[in-house]
């Protein structure tokens, strides 16, 4: 059924100065405002979550850096100790290599001891500037001078010749000191390089 237009009452006032209704597009402004508030709340929550994650990572990295610093300090101390051991080993190797030519001489001196004689003190000192010279200091526990002669023969068999020998006999001990020079080796002066 259709109602004719003349029977409908118009409740709208005809007053002047009343603004017309807003266009339909402007109805989106309040919707955009509420959406902006919701997005701001969401972004704030994401920011706080990311801030907490970043803080935890930072604290983890700081703890890891402290652990690494401790490990580095331990490694450096172990390395220093290892370098000290290496230096000692090199010094020992150098000493053994330097004493190798003297080993046959020491063996001959010890083998020259008779049944009633023993070595109380034996010292062999070699100078860096004159490696062919060896300062011998020998203390033998014996009353016999023949024991010293036997020992000197054994030293001579190793191609060493004694210079400036001194011997002292007293109270069952024989003290002998001499400079031994290896025969057949070239003497080097301090100015010459050692080969």
Convert the pLDDT of each residue in 98-128 to its tens digit: 777 788 888 888 888 888 888 889 988 887 7
Note the pLDDT of residue 125.
87
Average pLDDT over residues 148-170: 86
pTM of the full predicted structure?
0.48
pLDDT bucket at 82, cuts 50 / 70 / 90: very high
SS (H, E, C) the chain: CCCCHHHCCCCCCCCCCCCCCCCHHHHHHHHHHHHHHHHHHHHHHHHHHHHHHHHHHHHHHHHHHHHHHHHHHHHHHHHHHHHHHHHHHHHHHHHHHHHHHHHHHHHHHHHCCCCCCEEEEEEEEECCCCCCEEEEEEEEECCCHHHHHHHHHHHHHCCEEEEEEEEEEECCEEEEEEEEEECCCCCCCCCCCCC
* pLDDT, greater one: 145 or 57: 57
Mean pLDDT across the chain:
84
| pLDDT tops 80 at residue 188 | no
* pLDDT, greater one: 69 or 100: 69
């Amino acid at each position: 059924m259709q109602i004719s237009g003349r029977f409908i009452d118009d409740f709208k006032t005809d007053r002047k100065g009343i603004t017309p209704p807003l266009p339909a597009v402007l109805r989106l402004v309040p919707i955009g405002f509420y959406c902006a508030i919701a997005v701001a709340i969401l972004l704030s929550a994401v920011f706080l979550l990311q801030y907490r994650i970043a803080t935890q990572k930072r604290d983890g990295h700081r703890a890891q850096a402290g652990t690494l610093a401790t490990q580095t300090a331990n490694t450096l101390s172990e390395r220093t100790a290892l370098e000290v051991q290496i230096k000692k080993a090199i010094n020992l190797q150098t000493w053994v290599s330097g004493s190798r030519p003297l080993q046959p001489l020491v063996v001959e001196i010890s083998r020259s001891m008779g049944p009633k004689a023993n070595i109380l003190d034996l010292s062999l000192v070699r100078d860096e500037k004159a490696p062919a010279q060896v300062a011998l200091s020998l203390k033998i526990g014996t009353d016999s001078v023949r024991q010293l002669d036997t020992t000197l023969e054994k030293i001579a068999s190793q191609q060493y010749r004694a210079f400036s020998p001194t011997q002292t006999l007293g109270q069952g001990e024989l003290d002998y000191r001499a400079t031994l020079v290896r025969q057949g080796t070239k003497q080097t002066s301090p100015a010459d390089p050692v080969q």
